[in-house]
Amino acid sequence: QQQVKQSPQSLIVQKGGISIINCAYENTAFDYFPWYQQFPGKGPALLIAIRPDVSEKKEGRFTISFNKSAKQFSLHIMDSQPGDSATYFCAARGPNAGNMLTFGGGTRLMVKP
């Protein structure tokens, strides 16, 4: 089944702290796992992405950890800033049915100053 489960639904972190958002998937045919960041009134914007042959990818303060055997992946935001307050979506892309993305339910992150 094409499904991606994301947790938590909401997260409050103090400035400078680490934000961690988790996702789990079911379909082992997924071949690409992006994270999108969405600010109110805007469309989702690609933040960082990983392929299943890599266990970790880091870009600045953002890191994806990928556990293929557990079918889980997570986003870590180091030194979280108030400007990181947004909704974050994990997604997964399958090799079939075009290039469609299956999204997780989203996590609303608030970083307190």
Partner 1 sequence: DSGVTQTPKHLITATGQRVTLRCSPRSGDLSVYWYQQSLDQGLQFLIQYYNGEERAKGNILERFSAQQFPDLHSELNLSSLELGDSALYFCASSVEFADTQYFGPGTRLTVL
Please list every residue from 8 through 47 that binds partner 1, using CB under 8 A: 32, 34, 36, 41-46
Position among 75, 77, 92, 101 found at the interface with partner 1 (CB under 8 A): 101
* Residue window 45-84: x/- pattern of binding to partner 1, with contact defined by CB under 8 A: xx--x-----------------------------------
- Which runs of consecutive H residues, i.e. helices, occur in the chain? none
**Min CB(105)–partner 1 separation in Å:** 5
Dihedral Cα 79, 80, 82, 86, nearest 10 deg:
160
DSSP characters for 84-110? G-EEEEEEEE-SSSTT-EEE---EEEE
Q: What number of CA atoms fall less than 13 Å from residue 38's CA on the CB side?
A: 16
Q: Which residues bind partner 1 (CB under 8 A)?
A: 32, 34, 36, 41-46, 49, 89, 93, 97-106
